[in-house]
Amino acid sequence: MRKVVPLVVLLILSLGVSPSSGMVMMSEALLFDGGNAMDYLLEQCDFGPRPPGSDNLSQCRDYLVGILETGQWNVTLQSFNYRETECVNIIANWGLDTQPRFILGAHYDTRPVADRDPAVENRSKPILGANDGASGVAVLLELSRVIPESSRSAIEIVLFDAEDSGNVDGWDWIVGSEYYVDQLPPTKASGLSGMILVDMVGDADLRLERELTSTDSLQDAVWALAAELGHDDKFLDVSGGSILDDHRPFLDAQIPALDIIQHSPFPWYWHTLEDTPDKCSAGSLEAVGTVLESFLVNRSDETYPVDPFSSDFIFYVVLLVPPLVIIAVIVYRRRQ
């Protein structure tokens, strides 16, 4: 009998079951390659700055479409006009008639001005956007390659245009994602379990705080999975801030959404000419990609309830509470 017990345990483990918990363990080998993702990042940057309506962005779009189509994804270009500029969202499905459960999103445009650059003479120049733009797209391109075909029909990949031109020449932020959500058929929207956005995920010293407006249940699931995979040094279990990003239109449409973004604080080179590939690493891209790959293969069939308060409510609470507290303290002291 002493020899039987190890054999039984070995048999149980070979079936992918934990003898102590009875939980089915992850049986799929994770294939995400950070080196491939880094190549995708570099190849986007080779086109130069990619603001909406530019030739550089048009050429980059052709490149992105080519990568997705080579992987047998069905690609649709969603064109729209904003402030006399033709903009294009890139939408990739595994089957044109399938109902996706999850939208994976990233923006592929870059900011037209380096308005936070320390050198005044640089602030009217466009940024390269290695991290702010190319990193999130790179992760999704590599995911499009490694996700098992059995899981692909549950996924729609959307690369948003016109995200990063806010407050420049009268432009708003997140224009492409706003348009995409506005065009979502109600039946398709109601069938979605959630949306996951990746934005600025390539920093060599990656620190991903919890974005405040993201859906708690979805964020908890991804952060817990990151800890299980040993990436809790990058997916930090701390609260960050409230970000106006491409996940917000989904939240406003009552679709669970998560923004995976380095933001509290933003990297020091954000919206400067220093947003270049040398600030990024294959290891950071692989950490994020591996967590998402595992989530999509093992956890995407679960449901993630929408938070009881809207994203706008949370945003205004975050905006208004600090000054109200300061006013209350001033009033209190004057009455003493």
Write out pLDDT tens, residues 161-198. 999 999 999 999 999 999 999 999 999 999 999 999 99
- Average pLDDT in the 260-282 region? 98
Tell me the three state secondary structure of residue 104: strand
Report, at the CATH architecture level, how domain 31-335 is classified.
Answer: 3-Layer(aba) Sandwich (3.40)
Q: Name the one residue in this structure whose structure tokens are 């995911």.
A: 143
- Average pLDDT in the 259-264 region? 98
Tell me the residue type at 219. Answer: Q
Q: Is the pLDDT of residue 2 over 50?
A: no
* Cis status, amide bond into 112, omega within 30 of 0: no
299, two tokens: 């956890």
Distance, CA of 127 to CA of 125 (rounded, Å):
7
- Average pLDDT in the 75-84 region? 98
Distance, CA of 236 to CA of 207 (rounded, Å):
7
Distance, CA of 179 to CA of 199 (rounded, Å):
18
pTM here is: 0.85
On the CB side of 238, CA atoms within 13 Å amount to 11
In the chain, where does the domain assigned CATH 3.40.630.10 lie? 31-335
CB atoms within 10 A of CB 120: 7
pLDDT range class, residue 309, cuts 50, 70, 90: low
Beginning with the edge strand found earlier in the chain, give each strand of the sheet holding 155-160 in spatial order: 74-82, 85-93, 155-160, 102-107, 194-199, 257-261
Q: Is the pLDDT of residue 155 over 90?
A: yes
- Average pLDDT in the 67-89 region? 98
Distance, CA of 51 to CA of 334 (rounded, Å):
51
Given the DSSP bridges, would you call strands 155-160 and 85-93 parallel, antiparallel or unpaired? antiparallel
- Reference 257, options 217, 297, 226; nearest CA is 217
Q: Is the pLDDT of residue 20 over 50?
A: no
Distance, CA of 25 to CA of 22 (rounded, Å):
9
- Average pLDDT in the 222-241 region? 98
Output the average pLDDT for the chain: 89
pLDDT range class, residue 97, cuts 50, 70, 90: confident
Radius of gyration of the chain (CA): 21
